[in-house]
């Protein structure tokens, strides 16, 4: 990764654009987590899974939801790192 910034690039414009992208990515992660937790709560309360599901099965369900949220969060973090790394070279905000 080259840390050199071309001389014809407005650094302030790129920093503002990166902050806006960060807010967008945080919004995406928040919506994904909220929707997944809503679906999880609706499934477990509607089907009364709290009382009917064996405890080990419920634990597996929680682990799967946790992995899903973790993988999505890591994916969004990777997108942010990629934008941050390549924004000057690709002239992302011009």
Dump pLDDT digits (tens) for 44-81: 788 776 677 777 887 888 899 999 999 999 999 999 99
Is residue 43 packed enough to be buried (19+ CB in 10 Å), middle (13-18) or exposed (0-12)?
A: exposed
Contact between 13 and 93 under an 8 Å Cβ cutoff? The reply is yes
Task: State CA 78 to chain mean position distance.
Answer: 9
Which residues, in sequence order, are CB contacts of 11 under 8 Å at separation 6+? 5
Grouping H, G, I as helix, E, B as strand and the rest as coil, residue 19 is helix
Mean pLDDT of 36-48: 85
Residues sharing a CB contact under 8 Å with residue 89, sequence separation 6 or more, in sequence order: 2
Domains of the chain, residue spans: 13-90
pTM above 0.95, yes or no: no
């Amino acid at each position: 990764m080259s840390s050199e910034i071309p001389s014809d690039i407005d650094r302030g414009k790129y920093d503002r654009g990166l902050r806006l992208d960060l807010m967008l990515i945080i919004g995406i992660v928040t919506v994904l987590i909220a929707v997944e937790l809503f679906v999880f709560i609706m499934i477990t309360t509607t089907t009364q899974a709290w009382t009917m599901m064996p405890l080990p099965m419920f634990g597996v369900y929680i682990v799967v939801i946790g992995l899903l949220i973790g993988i999505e969060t890591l994916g969004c973090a990777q997108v942010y790192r990629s934008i941050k790394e390549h924004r000057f070279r690709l002239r992302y905000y011009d």
